Structure 1
Amino acid sequence: MTATLPAPGETTSGLRIGPYEVDPPVVLAPMAGITNIAFRRLCREYGAGLYVCEMITSRALVERHPKTLRMVAFDADESPRSMQLYGVDPDTMREAVRMIVDENLADHIDMNFGCPVPKVTRKGGGSALPYKRRLFGEIVDAAVRAAEPAGVPVTVKFRVGIDDEHVTCTDAGRIAEDKGASAVALHGRTAAQRYSGHADWSAIRALKQTVRSIPVLGNGDIFSAGDALRMKAETGCDGVVVGRGCLGRPWLFRDLQAAFAGEPVPEGPKLGEVAHVIRRHAELLTDHMGEHSGLRDLRKHLTQYLRGFPVGSELRKRFGLVSGLGELDDLLAELDPDVPFPDEAEGPRGRQGSAGKVVLPEGWLDDPEDASVPADAEMDHNGG
């Protein structure tokens, strides 16, 4: 299906999450080690939307783990301040949300039930948890009730299911809606798929047809503004969640803002403009964590920034070892600023990997109505 641009000046949003209007209807997905305060600011400089911080574990927050408290950081002008919480215990989740409310740590809470990482699923967390319908409902209920007095909206993100034989997304959507969530977001892959293959947008459409009273957001395979418009057209979702698609291209949020406003989408930047973006990213990381740590953090982004551009292997290697702003400036000066944005830079980016069996606690699939918290489920989540 070909996505149709809205008429110039026509708003396509209508997306509200609690008291907050999200226009354009675009959400930056939390990504571990990526969506820190520096990256969020860089993305926000390109367009409006909702920008969610890295995932925070409820247990680590309650225990005031130093690393976690450092991650709970927002720009002074970042509004609403959006935090993603992970947890497997309703009581701990309730305590964490009360702490967020009492100490005014965030304005919006997004709950993570979509992580497919084995160290998470083997403890019954992330994308394994919605299979346990009662436990899932109790966790959502605990968060919503703790946040309600302060008017902090709680949203819920999950996947299609554990695998093709254990699909949970429509049940999860109904439960979250019933427990008072302000919106739900669906990544159109199972946990078994991880990030491989293609996202199943038909599952997003089915969820939208099931969940009627709150917004439904779609996530998966949005690598361009056209993808976002096509997802909305094909699924009827109320907004889109962008993750890997913005890696090395934060200007995607500029493109999305233009597309949802019915305006022409700008052409991809020349290499000179990409160099300026890299330098800006380095400055923001330096402000956030110091020059040495900031430049080390930047390294993981550089492959994506330079993807498809005719940059020699030797220069790429030197970028991968950059350790200071002065050194970075010297390397950027070696790039040809007039090289146009390459076709090879379009399409999927970030980790993809391969599908695999989901690691679950022993007997996890025996009883979906079992509401017991897995033993030691949160013991090793001591930060982030």
Structure 2
Amino acid sequence: MVSAAPALPTELVLGNVRVDTPVVLAPMAGITNAAYRRLCAEQGAGLYVCEMITSRGLVEGDEHTKQMLVFDELETVRSVQLYGTDPKYVGEAAEILCNEYGVAHVDLNFGCPVPKVTRKGGGGVLPYKRGLLAEILESAVAATSKYDVPLTIKTRMGIDDDNLTYLDAGRIAQESGVAAIALHGRTVEQAYSGVANWDAIAELVQHVDIPVLGNGDIWEAADAVRMIQHTGAAGVVVGRGCLGRPWLFRDLAAAFAGEPTTALPTLGEVAGMMRRHAELLCDLMGEEKGCKEFRKHISWYLKGFGAGGSLRHSLGLVDTLEHLDEMLADLDWNEPFPASELGAPRGRQGAPRKRIVMPEGWLDDADGRGIHTVEDADEASGG
């Protein structure tokens, strides 16, 4: 007898935080600022997480870190991801977020594969040190629980196929009082290459009692539905799939509500979304800086469309909203969305890591309790 696929969740519950759609925007460095979070939130319900910030940077009052902690006036649930390797710094930073910034949800990053993070023993290599992981989680939960703020974590399957950590990380998270765990179905060695392993997410669901969120290879709303049905996860975390496609959250909200998905946008509708994005960035940063910040998004928005090279080049040099309006008017607004881009990977992919950069002797001891590596105050990436 074939077992029925699990019913789709209609909401996500993290402690006292309830999210109308079980969808989380993954924090992405240089992407998920207040403007982009507002843009995505205008499309559909979900939990929208601020760019990852460093615990040490926040505790030491680093100006760049504080500038990242800007929230839109309509953000009723402020959500921030912290990175850290020292329990003391992480606990203090979590308390600052709750006490001084009114944050309603804190997530800890144990999934970043970037060498500048892993070389300090942080990100996706930290869960190998089970004792250190427990120390950090205990410190963070002690801080956030005073404010009744749920703490969650995001991790990967492990360092590589020979050093998998996700089941232990789930157990430790549950024992430490963590509200939920998100699992990216790749190892640090894979980085963003290959295919995400949804079977690992399903295994973690069976291994723990706390909610598990699935992450990896969600390019369309249908992918999110398939992941839930395959894994039994409580929700999904979406990262690269929404680059240049903030309307994905509209489609996700419809899918989880059992409603038909809206038709794919024409190039004219995409142009309207581009204009809104640029406007929000300018409101946040000022017109000159906002337009420069918007440039990185142009290739994602136009991916697969027939816009010519000279126009793309000009858009990549946009410096004012008036200039942007003039160039958007030159697009073929009736061009349909390119079907070739449906289900296709977006953003960084690359190849597996030939070498994983870690502190010397990192794999010699799987406990690490009391071994506190030094994080840089300005590290930032994502998982």
Q: TM-score, normalised by structure 2?
A: 0.95
The answer to whether structure 1 residue 306 and structure 2 residue 309 are counterparts is no
Q: Which of these residues, 358, 361, 370, is aligned with residue 359 of structure 2? A: 361
Q: Which of these residues, 135, 155, 170, is aligned with residue 173 of structure 1? A: 170
Q: Which of these residues, 238, 246, 250, is aligned with residue 242 of structure 2? A: 246
Change (3 A) 1:71 1:115: same
The answer to whether structure 1 residue 331 and structure 2 residue 334 are counterparts is no
Q: Which of these residues, 31, 38, 42, is aligned with residue 41 of structure 1? A: 38
Segment of structure 1 superposing worse, 300-309 or 318-327: 318-327
Query: Equivalents in 1 of 2:189, 2:266: separation in Å?
Result: 38
| Residue aligned with 2:51, SS | strand
Moved >6 Å (runs of 4+)? 3-6
The answer to whether structure 1 residue 206 and structure 2 residue 203 are counterparts is yes
| Residue aligned with 1:166, SS | coil
Q: Which of these residues, 159, 180, 190, is aligned with residue 162 of structure 1? A: 159
The answer to whether structure 1 residue 188 and structure 2 residue 185 are counterparts is yes
| Residue aligned with 2:146, SS | helix
What does 1:16-27 correspond to in 2, within 5 Å?
16-27=13-24
Q: Which of these residues, 367, 371, 378, is aligned with residue 369 of structure 2? A: 371
Amino acid at match of 2:23: V
Query: Equivalents in 2 of 1:144, 1:372: separation in Å?
Result: 18
- Percent identical across equivalent pairs? 57
Amino acid at match of 1:178: E
| Residue aligned with 1:249, SS | coil
How far off is 1:338 after superposition?
Answer: 0.6
Query: Equivalents in 1 of 2:293, 2:96: separation in Å?
Result: 30
CA contact (8 A) 2:12 2:23 kept: no
Query: Equivalents in 1 of 2:224, 2:11: separation in Å?
Result: 16
Query: Equivalents in 1 of 2:63, 2:229: separation in Å?
Result: 44
Amino acid at match of 1:340: P
CA contact (8 A) 2:180 2:212 kept: yes
| Residue aligned with 1:77, SS | coil
The answer to whether structure 1 residue 266 and structure 2 residue 258 are counterparts is no
The answer to whether structure 1 residue 229 and structure 2 residue 225 are counterparts is yes
CA contact (8 A) 1:225 1:255 kept: yes
Query: Equivalents in 2 of 1:318, 1:240: separation in Å?
Result: 36
Deviations 1:96-115 (Å, cap 9, x if unpaired)? 11222221441110000000
How far off is 1:5 after superposition?
Answer: 11
Deviations 1:2-53 (Å, cap 9, x if unpaired)? x9897xxxx7324200111122100000000000000000000000010000
Please tell me the root mean square deviation across aligned C-alpha atoms, in Å. 1.6
| Residue aligned with 1:161, SS | coil
| Residue aligned with 2:120, SS | coil
| Residue aligned with 2:300, SS | helix
CA contact (8 A) 2:6 2:228 kept: no
Query: Equivalents in 2 of 1:354, 1:79: separation in Å?
Result: 39
Query: Equivalents in 2 of 1:270, 1:340: separation in Å?
Result: 5
Amino acid at match of 2:77: P
Query: Equivalents in 2 of 1:5, 1:210: separation in Å?
Result: 17
Q: Which of these residues, 55, 61, 83, is aligned with residue 64 of structure 1? A: 61
Q: Which of these residues, 274, 277, 280, is aligned with residue 281 of structure 1? A: 277
CA contact (8 A) 2:5 2:230 kept: no
Q: How many residues matched?
A: 376
Q: TM-score, normalised by structure 1?
A: 0.95
Partner residue, 1:132:
129
Change (3 A) 1:14 1:337: closer
CA contact (8 A) 1:5 1:259 kept: no
The answer to whether structure 1 residue 344 and structure 2 residue 344 are counterparts is no
